[in-house]
Structures are given as C-alpha cells and as structure tokens.
Structure 1
Amino acid sequence: MADIINLLPDNIANQIAAGEVIQRPASAVKELLENAVDAGATEIQLIIRDAGKELVQVIDNGKGMSETDARMCFERHATSKIQTINDLFSIRTMGFRGEALASIAAVSQVELKTRLRGSEIGTYIEIDNSAVKKQEMCQTAEGTSIAMKNLFFNVPARRNFLKSNAAEMRHIVDEFIRVAMAFPQIQFTLTNNTQQLFYLEKGSLKQRIIAILGQHYNARIVSVKETTDYMNVHGFVGKPETAKKTRGDQFFFVNNRFIKSPYLHHAIMNAFAEMIPADSFPLYVLFIDLDPGHVDINVHPTKQEIKFDDEKLMYAFVQSAVKHALAQFNITPTLDFGLDPGIQQLDAVSKPFTEQQQAKSVNTSLYKSFTQANQAHTIDKSSNLKHWKDLYGSGESNVTYTETETETMDSPQEESYTTHSTTIESRSSATSMIDEGWQDTSIDQKVPVQVHQQYILSQIKSGFILIDQQAAHERILYERYQRAVQETAIPTQQSLFPQTLQLLPADAALIMEMIPDLQILGYDLEPFGNNTFVVRGTPADIQSGNEQASIEGLLEQFKHFSHELKLPRREQLIRSMARNNSIQAGKSLSTREMQNIIDELFACTMPNSSPGGKYTYISFKLTDLAKMFG
C-alpha cells in the first residue's frame, strides 16, 4: 500500500496559519501597530484604503531594521523577542510569536521600506504570496514603512467573506483605538481614503481618553490608582451618569495589552452596584501592571484572552480599587439646585421688593419670631399664624381673605375626629377621581386609565387587561418598520432647518453602513465630511427638534443589539428604532393616545409580546378577581 501522508508546501501551510492570525483587515492593523510600538516609535501613522481591502499601511519612526532582519522578519516563527523558553514567561512586548508578518505576506502583497537608526541607506523588499519578488537598497526615512496590499487576493473565498466597507472600517477603528489608548505617550494618526479620522497628540492618559471618546467626558471621569507588591491598577472610570445601555467604552489592559475579560468586567459591575441600572454599562479604562510570570498571554491567537494564576485575587483587587475611587471622589446621586426658568418669571422674583414692603414685613409677628434673640423656636399660639400672608402680601392684592378665629384644640378626641374626617374627605375625593376616569362612553366600553404613567388599564367583557405602554408601542413600531422595509417606505418629515450631527469616528463608520436602510425607515441624512452628517429629515412620527437625540439613541440601541444578539443588520436596525422611538415608561398619555395604542396593538400580527419577547399585556378575569376577594 502506497504512503499517503505528505508535508504541506510552505505557501499552503502559511495560508492555513494566516487564517488564525489574519481574519480581516483589522487583524493586520493590530499586528502592524503593535510591531511599530515595539520598535520604540514616538510617531505612528495608519493609512487605510478601501477599508483595508486595498491597502493597510503603517509608518513609524522607530529604530528600523537591518537588511538581514528585514528579510528574516517574514519567515515563520522569526522573532527578536524570545531566545530561551524562560523568555516566554517574562514577555512585556506586544508581538512575540513571529507569525504576524509571515501570515500577512501569505495572503497579500507586501512592500517594506526600512532604515536602521544611524544608517545612511535603507532596504526595500517586495513580497507576493510569501515569495520575495524584489530586494534592493533604497532611500527612506529612519524607521519602518510596511504596506499590505490586496488582502486575500490569492484566497478569493476568504475575501468574499469580508463584510461591507463600513463594517470592516468599524473593526479597524476599534483596533486602532485599543492600541492608541494603551500608549498615550505616542502620537497616532489614522487616515482613511485620504481623509484624516484621528490625529492624537502625545499627552496624558486622560487627554488621550478625551481625544478618543469625546470632550464631554472631561469632567465625568474619576481617577483610579491602587498600588501593592503583587499588582498595580491605574486608569479612569466614568461617573454613574455616563453609563450607557450598550458596551463599547470598556477597556482593560494588562501590561499595556488590551484584553477581554468577562470575569474582571463582572468585578467592575459589582463595584457600581446600585449606582447604575442593572442593564447599563459603565465607562472604564483600566491598566493592570503585574509580573508577567503571573499571567499567561499565549492562550489565544489574537492574544486578547489571557489567564491569571490567581483570578480571585485579581477580581477582589479590581473591584476594591474602583469602589475606593468612587468613594474617594464622593460619587453619589446629587440634587440639581438649578432654578426652574419658570420661577424666574414670578412676581416675587422679577419685581423689586420696595422699602415700603420691607418695612411692613419687618413689623409682622412671624418675622419677629425668627429674628429676635432666642425666639427662633417659639411660635405665638394666640395668633394662630393668621398673619402669615403678610410676609408675602403686597398690600395691593385684589384677593380678599376671610379669617375665622378658632380655638386651639386640646382634646385628643377632637383631634382624632378631625383626622378621621380628613381621611373620609380624601377617600371621597379619590373616589370621585376614579369615577371621572371610568365614565361610560358606551354600554359595553369603559375609558382606558393610565396606571403610574407606565401601564394602561382597559376593561374587556371577561374582566380587564393591563398593558405595558412601552412594550406595546415597541411592538406596534416594530411591525410598522417591518412593513416599511418589505412594502412601502416610511414618509420623511423634512426639517425646515437641517441639523449637523458630529459623531465619533467609530459611530460615523456605523452610520455610513446603515444609511441605505435608514432612508427606507424615514431618515434623510448624508455625509458632510470629518465624521459629520447633515440631518435633513426624520420619520414623521418623531417630534421636530429631536433629530439629534433620536439618531444618537438609535446608535446606542443598535450597538446594544449588535453585542447581545446575532441578528441580521437590518433586523437589528428595526428593533433598535422600535426600542428607541417607543413611548417610555413615565410619560403621561391622553385618553385618545391610550385608545390608539390599544387599537393598534391588537391589529398587530403578534400583539402579545414585544420584539424582545417581553409581555405586552396581561389579562385578568372576573372569576379570578372573585377568588382573590373570597
């Protein structure tokens, strides 16, 4: 029988290995940026064309490579970081496996220009499908410029699995932000199709966070710093009001390497317990520094998942550090003492307090009881406070008051009787309010009633139903938007004065991806350059002047569904719009609005649940009520 096992050719083996490391353009961005950081660069440029499918180029001013190193760096398992097995357990650099450049060269066309610091001439190398096509001397700046062109040109099936340009660009921005956040002492720029998306100057960690996430975080983040012999934690967490319904602003770095750790994330959530809603996510950028011997970073090809030798200790320490920071900066819910603008218009505030009015007020017994020595605790019972209004009255009011002198009640029985009478009166007034809400509109139907501005109570033949107004409206909007996508587009309400919307680069890339679907669903917006969009119109049922809040809320909901559910993009968008535009709990509804919700809900194909599976209503039968009351 003939032998059937053969060694794979190098080019095929390299392509298989590349599948672990280079899954999309963003994977190459991560590896190339980390190599530039390891080279000691202080300025790093990332240049992208066609969302990385045509070009990913990284230019740094690091130490560069010699001619031999420039050729060797494309070989598999070639690295300058590891000499012995012990080096594997004391790694503090970013790239160390020696697979990144070999994998990139296996699935793309690569051009490398590099000049060693202090050398007069550099090296140019051109590689195509792992084969060196050209190697020669060249003039170039100190440092390294590496360009990856035509990703997956030799693996068409892999290229077909890449997402849209907007989706791939979003992944690239994510990887860029993770590296740039970890090294605020390095200047980073990101250019996409000749448009500069990021220009991040060297600075402190706080300056880098604000430059990436937005200026509005300047006064809304709290410093975290704890030091022990075992490990150190430093960074920033957002105040409770910065918590969002979606993930995205959570960054963990271990020895400056970005990691994903649900376990440590849970520690942060526990530190914020009872400060934020259970379904919200706080902002945090935390750096953990510890001996590399206590952590294994070689458990995953992308090195984003790691293992600690004592996870419980890490959990307790991170949770304690965040709790201490929040307590130290007195992060607790605060009252807003800002004056209501309506109060400013009142006569007592807007009109001057004349000398005549001052003199009159000073002579009242109430004023004297608070100003005379040792009188603040005394109340003149004989006056029964009948002149209290003198303190506020101008003496010119047309309103007349009828005062009745009453005896002070000393009898407990009289006091009890008065309390009882008050209770009866309040009950009768409450009964009259209920009667007003339940007046017959017809023999068989009662007017719906809103309960705690959250539920709608409506009578039916067999009893009554209790409707969750938000879940019900979400179901109504969801089916309306589905029909729009499948049949007729939702009409757009054009704005008299179009608004400009400034977004973070990652959000701008996300909106670019969604524009065709948003137009079907009633939004009219177009790119205006530099992460800015012009909003010319919104769906007709969105209140005018609320365009920016509507789109920002829609983005947050979309990111929430993107993380929580693996749904098609259009389905995520429809659910996001339904959730974002639905009537929120706490909103007062008129009788007509409540009746419209009831009518539209039961005209839906699935009226009993929201798109997320939540009950929209619960029915109560008369027979069940009879049992409850015995």
Structure 2
Amino acid sequence: MPDTIQLLPDSIANQIAAGEVIQRPASAVKELLENAVDAGATEIKLYITDAGKSLLQVIDNGKGMSETDARMCFERHATSKIKKIDDLFSIRTMGFRGEALASIAAVAQVELRTRRAEDELGTCIDIENSVVLKQEPCATPVGTNLCMKNLFFSVPARRNFLKSNASETKHIVEEFIRVAMAFPHIMFSLTSNGQEVFHLESGNLKQRVVQVLGNQFMAKLVNVKEETDYMNIYGFVGKPDTARKTRGEQYFFVNNRYIKSAYLNHAVMSAFDELIPKDSFPLYALYIDLDPTQVDINVHPTKQEIKFEDEKIIYAFVQAAVKHALAQFSVAPSLDFTLNAEIQQLDAVSKPFTTEQQQDTSGSKLFKTFSQKNQAHFIEPSGNSNKSELKHWKEFFTPPAAEGYDLLNSETVGKGGMPAFPSTESGYSLTDSISQPASGHLYEQPPAANQVLPNAVLLQLHNTYVIAPTHSGFILVHQQLAHERILYERYSQAAHGRSMAIQKLLFPVTVELAPGDALLLNELLPDLYAIGYQVELFGKDSFIIQGTPADITQGNEKHAIELLIEQFKHFSSDIKFSKREKLVRCMARQQAIKAGQQLTQKEMLQLTEELFTCNTPNVTPTGSPTYLEFKEDYLDRMFGR
C-alpha cells in the first residue's frame, strides 16, 4: 500500500493559516496598521474601497525595508521581533508572529512599495496567491506603501461569507479606532470610497479619545491615573450621566494593545455600582502598563485575548483606580491657592480671622439665613421700596386652578401631584401611541378567553404589570413587553410599504456624531425614513432632523436618534436579520413605555385592547411573553376546590 501522509504545498498551507489570521478585511487592517506602528511611523493613512473587498491600502512614513527584508516579510514565520525563545515572553511590539503578510499574500493580490532613508531607490514587489510576480527597484517615498486588492479572490467560498459593505466597514472602523486610540502621538486617517471618514491629528491621550468618541464628551471624562511598582493604570472613564443602555464605547489596552476582558470589565462595572442603573453600561478607555513577563499575549490568533499571571491583582487595581477617580469627581471642587502667588498677598488670605470678627459675622441676619432652617424668606430687601415684591411670595408657587377642573382629583395626577403618565426618556407617550389607530388591521380577533371583560376595572401592580379580568379568569400583562409588541407590528407595517405619517419639526434639530456613528447613520437614512424619521446629511459628521413619526412626542429627537444608533450598533441576535428589521426592533424597544411607569385606567384599557389586535399578541419580537393567563379552573385547583 502506498503512503498516504504527505506535506501540504506552501500555497495551501498559507491559505489555511490565513483562515486564522485574516478572517475579513478588518483583520488585514489590524495587522497592517500594527506593522506600520512597529515601523516607527508618525503618519499612517488607510484607504479602503468597497469595505476593503476591492482595495485596502496602508501608507506609512516609517523606517521602511531593505530589498531583502521586503522579500522576506512575505515568508511564513519571518519576523524581526523574535530571535530566541525568551523573546516570546517579553514582547513590546504589536506584531511578532510573522504570519500577517504571508497570510494576506495567500488570499489577495498584493503590491508593496518600500524604501529606507539611507537608500536611493526603494523596492517594488507584486505577489499573487503567494507567488512573486515582480520584484524590481522603484522610486518611492521613505516608508512603506502596501496595497491589497481583491481579498479572497483565490478562495471564492470565503468571499461569499463576507457580509454587506456597511457591516464590513463597521468592523474596519472598529479596528482602526482601537489602534488609533492606543497611539495618540501618531497621526491616523481613514478614507472610504474617496471620502475621508477620520482625520486624527497627533496629540495627547484626551485629545485622541475626544477625537474618536466625539466633542460632546470633552467635559464628561474623569481622569484615571494610578502608579505602583507592579503596574500603572491611566485613561478616562465617563461620568455617570454618560452611561448608556447598551455596551457602547468601552476600551481596555494592555501595553498599548487592545484587549477584550469580561473579567476587567466587571471590575469597572463594580466601581460604578450604585452610581448608574443596573441595566446601564459606563464609558471608559483605560490603559494598563505592566512588565511583559506578567502577561501572555500569545493565547489567541487575533491577540485580543490575553492571560495575566495574577488576574486578581489586576482586577483589584482597576477597581480601586476607577473608584478613586469617581470619588474625586464626586467631591466639591476646591481652590488651590498655591497656583498663583498673588492670591497669597490678599488681605482675606494673609490676615487672620479674629474671634471678634467671627462673632460679628455669625450674629448677622445674613449668616442666619444660610445656617438656620426656614430662614430663606426672611432675607431683608435692600430698600423699603422693594418690600412689596416679597409680600406675596407664596402665591408664586400656587398655580391658579382652572375653572371647573379639580387638579388634585384628576385621574391624570399621580403621587406627589405629578402627572401619572410622564413621557418616557425617548419622548414617547403611551396615550399618543395607542390612540393612533393602526390602519389596515386584518388580524383575526383573539380567542374569547383572552379578551378583557368590557367595563372592567384594571389594576396596575408595581407600576409594571397590568391585571385584567377575562371571561375565564384573568391575565397578567407586562406593560413594557406588551407595548413593544404593539410598536413592533406598527413599525414593521411601515417598513414594508405602509409609510408612517411624519410630523415636521417647527425647529429642526442638528445632531453631531462621532465619525463611525455618522457613517452608520448615513447608511440607515432610507430605512429611518420608512418608519417616520426624516433625517438629512448636514455636513461631514452632522445631520439635521426635519421630522419624526407622528405619534412621538416632540422635544427629545436628538437623544432618540443617538440611542437608536447605539442600540443598532450593539444589536445582538443569533439570527441574521436585515438592516431594516434590526432597525424596526430597536425602534420598538426604544419607544416602548418602561417598567415602573404609572398608567391611568384609560391607558391600561387601551394597552390591552391594542395588544389583542396584534397578529402575535402573546410574545415580543424576541420571544419573551407579553402576558400570562390564569384560568378559573387553575385558580380553583390552587385552593383545593
């Protein structure tokens, strides 16, 4: 029998290796940007066409390569970073395995132009399917220009698994941001299909973080900085009011390498305990510097998952550093008089505050108004002519009752005299939503057992559940999930042909977004219009909101759009949905009334009625039950009857 085991040809072996290293265009972006950083570049430019599928080009002004190095860099496991086994455990560079360029050359058409400062001419190499087609001297600037065309042209099956251009561009932007945030002293730019998306000038860390996340975070970042003999941690966390309902901008870097760590994320979350709601996620960009021997970065092909020698110490340091930073933010600001020597010469600072002066001050009426309770209205006016202005001060706080209307006895008043049903944070009113008839309902009536009894009195439990009697028992409705189902079917109808009515804004609202979010919103504009949002491009990263769905209360349009983008970015599902379907689901989830919101009898009745006119009233789009049914015979059995 002939032998059956044989060595794979290099071309096939390289393509197999490429499957681990280069999974999509964003993988190549990460490897090429990191190589440019290792080359000592101060300017790195990234150009992509068709989300990197047709063209992906990285140009840097680094030290470049010699003719021999330019040829060797495409060989598997060829690297300048490791010479002995001990070097593997003291890595300080970004790339070190020598697999990236070999993998790229195995699945794409590659053109390399590179030159060192001491060389008069550079080197030009063309490679296709791991085969060198051309190598010759050429005139080129100092640095490296690597152009990758037609990714996966030699592996059509792999190319078919790539997602839409919008999705692949999103992944490229994420990898670009991760590298750019790790090296603020380097200028980065990203150009997609001829349009510059990012232009990040070199600067300090805070400038880079604000460049990436958006100028709106300039005054909302808390500085984190702790130094020890074991490790240093620095960076920024967002103030509690920047927390979002989705896992948004959260970045961890270890020795300038972006990592994913649920363990360290938990450390940050625990530091924010009781400062933000349980279902919110804080913003942070934290950088950890420690001895490379204390961390193993060679545990995953993408090098985004690493292993610490002592995770518990790192966890404790991260948690303590963030807590300390937040504690400093929480205290009242104090003046540092050492900053200006002239302040020290003022009488108020240089002269002592005598006992006699203390007694005179504490005995004054002005002092009493600030130090004793219920004294504020005794502040004396500066002149007699002003006494009449304070005479009827109590009347200012008593609103005149409308004729024929008893404010306190109205059913729209909740606890503390406040309206029982305020608008949600997204500006959505349940009354508005339910009172809008869902035109064209063709659904069959639900079973009689599920119908709420006419003229029934409904009960709200914990401001979250609605108890409604039926012909055969009662149902327990979850108000938020039920409303989500109602809105989903309404928006779904609008998204598939029955356009929603748009309410024009009297004063259009301008929204400025981070470049990555602006790129995403621009892709979503047609789908947003189908569900009632009229949004137009208004500059490079700015948009203007001209109209909103007619059943949404006006006044919070900017927040609604920002939250919608955030939910869309972090939409998680095992099923592949279309872009419009994801948008409809995000919209329904955002606009639904929230648990804990008080409802009137009228609103509870309308909620249940609208729910049972839905095509699928019993579950939300994600499969959660909207209500539970308790039948009379089941209740009897519970009591042994």
Partner of 1:345: none
1:312 corresponding residue in structure 2: 312
d(CA) in 2 for partners of 1:134, 1:444: 83
| Equivalent of residue 552 in structure 1, options 539, 562, 565 | 562
Q: Offset at 1:208?
A: 0.6
User: Structure 2 counterpart of 1:538, which letter?
Assistant: T
Counterpart in the other structure of 1:352: none
Amino acid at match of 1:78: A
Which residue of the partner structure matches residue 169 of structure 1?
169
1:583 corresponds in structure 2 to 593
Q: Does 1:393 align with 2:391?
A: yes
1:234 aligns with 2:234: yes
The 2-side partners of 1:458 and 1:231 are apart by 59
Partner of 2:78: 78
Instruction: Verify: 1:129 aligned to 2:136, yes or no.
Output: no
The Cα shift of 1:430 comes to 12
After superposition, residues 197-276 of structure 1 pair within 5 angstroms as 197-276=197-276
The alpha carbon displacement at 1:194 in A equals: 1.6
Counterpart-to-counterpart distance in 2, 1:450 and 1:472: 14
Change (3 A) 1:485 1:135: same
Q: Contact 1:65/1:116 (CA < 8 Å) preserved in 2?
A: yes
Give the Cα–Cα distance (whole angstroms) in 1 for the partners of residues 473 and 582 of structure 2: 37
Q: 1: distance between equivalents of 2:47 and 2:193? A: 8
| Counterpart position of 1:384 | none
Give CA deviations for 1:429-469 in whole Å, capped at 9, x if unaligned. Answer: 999x99xx9xxxx9951455666765545455567655443
Q: Which amino acid aligns with 1:271?
A: A
1:113-146 C-alpha deviation (Å, 9 max, x unpaired): 1110232221111111111111111111111111
Residues 224 and 321, structure 1, Cα contact 8 Å, conserved in 2? yes
How far apart, CA to CA, are the structure 1 residues paired with 2:392 and 2:225? Answer: 59
CA distance in 2, matches of 1:200, 1:610: 43
Determine the structure 2 residue equivalent to 1:611: 621
CA distance in 1, matches of 2:295, 2:558: 45
How far, CA to CA, are the matches of 2:35 and 2:364 in structure 1?
78
Closer, same or farther: CA 543–134 of 1 in aligned 2, 3 Å:
same
Note if contact 1:167-1:510 (Cα within 8 Å) is conserved in structure 2.
no
Match of residue 577 from structure 2: 568
Q: Does the CA contact (< 8 Å) of 1:47 and 1:192 recur in 2? A: yes
Matched-pair contact (CA < 8 Å) for 2:107–2:153: yes
In structure 2, relative to structure 1, the CA distance for the partners of 1:371 and 1:278 (3 Å cut) is: closer
CA shift in 2, pair 1:130/1:621, >3 Å: closer
After superposition, residues 589-604 of structure 1 pair within 5 angstroms as: 591-604=601-614
Matched-pair contact (CA < 8 Å) for 1:167–1:509:
no
Match of 1:151 in 2: 151
| Alignment correspondent of 1:64 | 64
1:591 and 1:503 map into 2 onto residues whose CA distance is 41
What TM-score, normalized by structure 1, do the two folds share?
0.78
2:355 alignment counterpart: none
Q: Does 1:508 align with 2:506?
A: no
Cα distance in 1 for partners of 2:128, 2:234 equals 44
Q: Is the 8 A contact 1:557 1:579 kept in 2?
A: no
TM-superposed deviation, 1:239: 1.2
Shift of 1:10: 1.3
Q: Which has the larger radius of gyration?
A: 1
Q: Corresponding residue for 1:471? A: 481
CA shift at 1:529, angstroms?
A: 5.5
Partner of 1:108: 108
- Give the aligned partner of residue 357 of structure 2: none
Q: 1:617, 1:80 → 2: CA distance?
A: 63
CA RMSD of aligned residues (A): 3.6
Q: Aligned in 2, Cα 1:519/1:260: closer, same or farther, shift over 3 Å?
A: same
User: Does the CA-based 8 Å contact 2:248-2:566 persist in structure 1?
Assistant: no
Q: 1:430 to 1:308 in 2, by over 3 A?
A: same
Match of 2:32? Answer: 32
Q: CA deviation at 1:572?
A: 2.9
Distance in 1 separating the partners of 2:364 and 2:188: 69
2:214–2:513 Cα contact (<8 Å) kept: no
User: Residues 221-276 of structure 1: CA distance to partner in whole angstroms, max 9, x if unpaired?
Assistant: 11111122221111111111111111231111111100001111111111111111
Q: 1:304 to 1:291 in 2, by over 3 A?
A: same
- Alignment-derived partner of residue 361 in structure 1: none
Q: Which amino acid aligns with 1:595?
A: L
SS of equivalent to 1:561 = coil
Describe the superposition over 1:72-101 as per-residue Cα deviations: whole angstroms up to 9, x where unpaired.
Answer: 111111100010111111110000000001
User: Relative to 1, partners in 2 of residues 1:249 and 1:372: Cα closer, same or farther, differing over 3 Å?
Assistant: closer
Aligned length: 544
For residue 248 of structure 1, give the secondary structure of its aligned residue in structure 2. coil
Q: Distance in 2 between matches of 1:369 and 1:535?
A: 55
For residues 105 and 77 of structure 1, what CA distance do their matches in structure 2 show?
A: 13
Following TM superposition, by how much is the alpha carbon of 1:293 offset from its aligned partner in structure 2, in angstroms?
Answer: 1.0
d(CA) in 1 for partners of 2:453 and 2:166?
58
Q: Does 2:309 match 1:300? A: no
- Residue of structure 2 in register with 1:348 after alignment: none
Once the two structures are superposed, residues 126-169 of structure 1 have per-residue CA deviations (whole angstroms, 9 ceiling, x without a partner) of 11111111111111111111111111111111111111111111
- 1:549 Cα deviation from its structure 2 partner: 2.8
Q: Quick one: which amino acid aligns to residue 106 of structure 1?
A: A
Assess if the C-alpha contact under 8 Å between 2:453 and 2:470 holds in 1.
Answer: no
Pairing 1:289–2:289 present: yes
Q: 1:544 to 1:131 in 2, by over 3 A?
A: same
- AA aligned to 1:191 is T
Structure 1: runs of 5 or more not aligned:
333-367, 380-388, 398-428
